[in-house]
């Protein structure tokens, strides 16, 4: 069965499809928020989330006081904060995979206790914003366990981009439960002190991030059932 989509996803799919079909050409201004809310029968918060996702995908730009304008007709490489998704993932692979291996060798009992506590909080958390904050803290804590301050500094530098990417993937890719399982596998490898297993667990985690991102970037699929109503 296809995954049931949220109201925001339904709005995003509609607007993205209209742009990709040329109903809104490059340079065109999208209708006002009020008009789109009336036409699509959604609340303003739902619409604004969809508009932010369009901008992340690189299809539109928002100009203060002027509106939202189409700048591309197809999704290429989304941007999270200051970094393109492809650049972010490349750096994460070069940093976080070996960091997991170092952390397996160097972690302290306190590091493990902290990571297990974070994992338990993430598995219980239902609010996306709070979960995303814990997600970035989890990756920072793995870097901390590697006992090299440069690694943590690098993750700190991309922290905002990681949070934006995490929110994007969870909203559009339903990643939260799967990500929790992947995080648990990382913690179990660190607990066991296996560098090889820790590297494999982090590599798998980033593979799944890339796969989900790729799926989102593909052309819009046929309409799917929504999760009951358009208001959120």
Q: 33: helix, coil or strand?
A: helix
CB proximity list for 22: less than 8 A, separation 6 or greater? 73
Rounded to two decimals, the pTM is: 0.81
226 pLDDT above the threshold of 60: no
224 pLDDT above the threshold of 70: no
Match domain 7-70 to its CATH number in 1.10.10.10, 3.30.2270.10, 1.10.240.10, 3.60.110.10: 1.10.10.10
Please write the tens of the pLDDT for every residue from 160-218.
999 999 999 988 888 899 999 999 999 999 999 999 999 999 999 999 999 999 988 87
Q: 60: helix, coil or strand?
A: strand
pLDDT at position 116: 97
Which sequence spans correspond to the domains of the chain?
Answer: 7-70, 79-217
How far is residue 131's CA from residue 118's CA, in Å, rounded to a whole number? 10
Which CATH homologous superfamily contains domain 79-217?
GntR ligand-binding domain-like (1.20.120.530)
């Amino acid at each position: 069965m296809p995954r049931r989509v949220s109201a925001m996803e339904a709005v995003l799919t509609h607007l993205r499809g209209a742009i990709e079909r040329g109903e809104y050409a490059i340079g065109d201004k999208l209708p006002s928020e009020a008009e789109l809310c009336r036409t699509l029968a959604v609340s303003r918060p739902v619409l604004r989330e969809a508009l932010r996702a369009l901008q992340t995908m690189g299809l539109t730009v928002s100009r203060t006081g002027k509106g939202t304008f189409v700048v591309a007709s197809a999704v290429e490489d989304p941007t999270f904060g200051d970094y393109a998704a492809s650049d972010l993932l490349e750096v994460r692979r070069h940093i976080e995979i070996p960091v997991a291996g170092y952390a397996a060798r160097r972690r302290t009992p306190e590091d493990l206790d902290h990571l297990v506590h974070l994992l338990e909080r993430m598995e219980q958390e239902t609010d996306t914003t709070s979960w995303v904050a814990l997600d970035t803290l989890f990756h920072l804590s793995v870097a901390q366990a590697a006992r090299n301050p440069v690694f943590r500094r690098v993750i700190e530098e991309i922290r905002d981009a990681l949070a934006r990417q995490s929110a994007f993937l969870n909203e559009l890719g339903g990643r939260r439960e799967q990500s929790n399982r992947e995080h648990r596998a990382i913690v179990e490898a660190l607990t066991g002190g296996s560098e090889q297993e820790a590297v494999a667990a982090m590599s798998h985690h980033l593979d799944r991030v890339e796969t989900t991102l790729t799926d989102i970037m593909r052309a819009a699929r046929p309409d799917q059932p929504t999760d009951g109503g358009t208001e959120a």
